[in-house]
Amino acid sequence: MKIAVACSLALSLIAGAALAQSPDDAYRLGSDSEPHDGVPRGEVVGPLTLASEVYPGTTRHYWVYVPAQYDPDEPACLMVFQDGHAFLGPEGNYRIPTVFDNLIYRREMPVTLGVFINPGHTADQPEATDADWGDRTTNRRVEYNALDDTYSRLIVEELLPALKRDYAISDDPECRAISGASSGAICAFTVAWHRPDQFRKVISTIGSYVNIMGGHVYPDLVREAEPRPIRIFLQDGMNDNRGVRRGGRYDPQWDWFAQNLKMAEALEEKGYDVSYVWGIGTHSNKHGGAIMPEMLRWLWRDHPREDDPAVRGPLVPKEAEESASAGTDTDERP
């Protein structure tokens, strides 16, 4: 979905948001983010605790979503979400377990374990929550915004072995995705950037490619380096933080929307498999949550779809098949 389509989408939403209290009110969750009768529901295990030697003295909670279709004899795909608490909740902006239930059932994405991991904290710091993501109270700023490979080592050397002790996970990097919002988004990209041998799919919402810890240089790094085999979907809003600093001074290195535009341009120039949508939202998760099902479809679009209703459920819900046989068109999703 390239820039002309993205701009058209943003402009079309302006009229719908005219009477709203904020630009973010233009976005609503769709059917794919709601539970449906007849769709098998996966299990969420946790919270579990991961201690770290990469970040000494820290621990962090994580949860594992296990789809109903998971078979321990068949290695599953894997998708890791930073700021896990924000993507997990059934009443939140993303509701990933419910979205996974629906898309896996429809075979619009493969059987995928979802892992929701929080930033680390020391013994005297609180666990991150929806009310406080932990920028000032946990190790989040350092873990997520640094451009080195330290956090990718936590994921690859500490999280993955812990997961593999309990679950069958594919070793194919094409079967592994990673995602996050804001600082969690730049973090997800950094993991794939350093370890494309482990993760090759990224979803980035309201990504902080700004100068929190030098992240504004990423567009230049992308242009200067040999392309990595990474597929990435970027989302941001034109009313995201726009780089106005203290005293009203504009600093382009702190303009979230401009930096996301630069990332998309650099990735396209280097021939990456990239898609992006620019909306009218602020630094909010409402837009990203509303389009998450479509981003996931795009991310996993070329994954094989086994034609086995006993394992995955029918390609078309029974009621839709009956409507089609009666000559009625339907495009409803469960």
Q: How far apart are CA 188 and CA 80, in angstroms?
A: 9
Is residue 332 included in any domain, yes or no?
A: no
Q: Which domain holds residue 264?
A: 3-325
Relative to beta strand 250-255, strand 242-244 is: antiparallel
Q: Select from 177, 35, 178, 61 the least CA-distant residue to 110.
A: 177
Task: Residue 272: give its domain's CATH number.
Answer: 3.40.50.1820
Which has more pLDDT, 202 or 9? 202
Mean pLDDT of 158-173: 98
Bridge partners, 49 (sequence order) = 61
- Residue 334: inside a domain: no
Determine, yes or no, domain membership for 333.
no
Structural domain contains residue 178: yes
Is residue 228 one of the residues assigned to a domain? yes
Which of residues 167 and 332 earns the better pLDDT score? 167
Give residue-wise pLDDT tens across range 241-257.
Answer: 999 988 889 999 999 99
The mean pLDDT of 254-261, rounded to a whole number, is 97
Asked if residue 109 is part of any domain, the answer here is: yes
User: Does pLDDT of 321 surpass 80?
Assistant: no
- Mean pLDDT on 216-227: 98
Whether 14 contacts 280, CB under 8 Å? yes
Of 126-140, 196-210, 215-229, 277-291, the range with the lowest mean pLDDT is 126-140
Q: Is residue 292 part of a domain?
A: yes
Counting the structural domains of the chain, the total is 1
> pTM of the full predicted structure?
0.87
In a domain, 53, yes or no: yes
Residues 184 and 86: their CA atoms lie apart, in Å, by: 11
Q: What is the mean pLDDT of the chain?
A: 89
